[in-house]
Amino acid sequence: MDWIAITSAIFLGAMMVFIFPRMREAVKNSPKGNMQDWMGYIIPLVAVIGFIILLINMV
């Protein structure tokens, strides 16, 4: 394993440590979404996935 892989691993580990308390706070304080709210995310996401499939076929 070269130094780039080791540095990347340390960096990603540090990111996890840094993000963890923010994640816990976000989970605790975020309002709960209902089915309609989630559909507001899922519908554009399906469009994004379809668009990426189109891009894959283009390259």
Partner 1 sequence: MNDHNISISRSQESILATNKVLKNTYLLLSMTLIFSGILAAVGMSMNLGHGAALVASIAAIALMWFVLPRTANSSTGIPVLFAITGLFGLGLGPVLNHYMAINPSIVSTALGGTGVIFLGLSGYALTTRKDFSFMGGFLMVGMLVVIGASLLNIFLQIPVLSLVSSAAVIMLMSGFILYETSSMIHNGETNYIMAAASLFLSILNMFQALLHILGAFSNND
Q: Summarize as ranges the residues that interact with partner 1 (CB under 8 A).
A: 3-5, 7-9, 11-13, 15-16, 18-20, 22-23, 26-33, 37, 40-41, 44-45, 47-48, 51-52, 55-56, 58-59
Helix (H, G, I), strand (E, B) or coil at 59: coil
User: What proportions of the chain, in percent to the nearest 5, are helix, strand and coil?
Assistant: 85, 0, 15
Shortest Cβ distance from residue 18 to partner 1 (Å)? 6
Shortest Cβ distance from residue 53 to partner 1 (Å)? 10
Shortest Cβ distance from residue 52 to partner 1 (Å)? 7
Q: How far is CA 45 from CA 31, 41, 42, 52, 59, in A?
A: 21, 6, 5, 11, 21
